[in-house]
C-alpha cells in the first residue's frame, strides 16, 4: 500500500528545469521542477543503473549521465525505447515539504 513520505524540504528542490538526487525512505529519487510542478521519479536508470538525479533536464525529460537514456518526467517512458520506463510518483508540496506517494 502506497503512503505519502517526505522526500525533501521545499527549499532543497533544484531550480526550475534542473534535477537533483535525493535519498529518502531508504531509496534514491530524482526530483525536479518542471513548468511549476514538482516531479519525483525513481532515481535509478532502468537501463544500467545510472544516477538519474545527477543527469540533466532537456525538454521535460531527465537524461541519464551514463548512457543518455532520456525519460519523460510525467510518464516515465524512455524517449527512444518505450520498453524502458522509470516509476513516476504522485508528488505534492505540503507544509514546506515535498512528499511523494511511495
Domains of the chain: 4-101 (2.102.10.10)
Eight-state DSSP code of residue 101: E
Within the chain, what is the greatest distance between any pair of CA atoms? Answer: 38
Judge whether residue 1 has pLDDT over 90.
Answer: no
* Residue pLDDT, tens place only, 42-99: 999 999 999 999 999 999 999 999 999 999 999 999 999 999 999 999 999 999 999 9
* Residue pLDDT, tens place only, 19-35: 999 999 999 999 999 99
Residue 79 pLDDT? 94
Burial class for 55, CB neighbours closer than 10 Å (0-12, 13-18, 19+): buried
pLDDT tier for residue 2 given thresholds of 50, 70 and 90:
confident
* Stated pTM of the model: 0.95
User: Looking at residues 98-102, what average pLDDT do you find?
Assistant: 97
Amino acid at each position: 500500500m502506497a503512503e505519502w513520505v517526505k522526500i525533501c524540504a521545499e527549499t532543497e528542490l533544484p531550480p526550475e528545469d534542473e534535477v537533483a538526487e535525493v535519498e529518502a525512505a531508504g531509496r534514491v529519487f530524482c526530483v525536479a521542477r518542471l513548468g511549476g510542478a514538482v516531479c519525483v521519479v525513481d532515481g535509478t536508470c532502468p537501463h544500467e543503473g545510472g544516477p538519474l538525479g545527477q543527469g540533466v533536464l532537456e525538454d521535460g525529460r531527465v537524461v541519464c549521465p551514463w548512457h543518455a537514456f532520456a525519460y519523460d518526467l510525467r510518464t516515465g517512458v524512455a524517449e527512444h525505447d518505450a520498453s524502458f520506463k522509470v516509476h513516476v510518483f504522485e508528488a505534492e508540496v505540503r507544509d514546506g515539504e515535498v512528499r511523494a506517494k511511495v
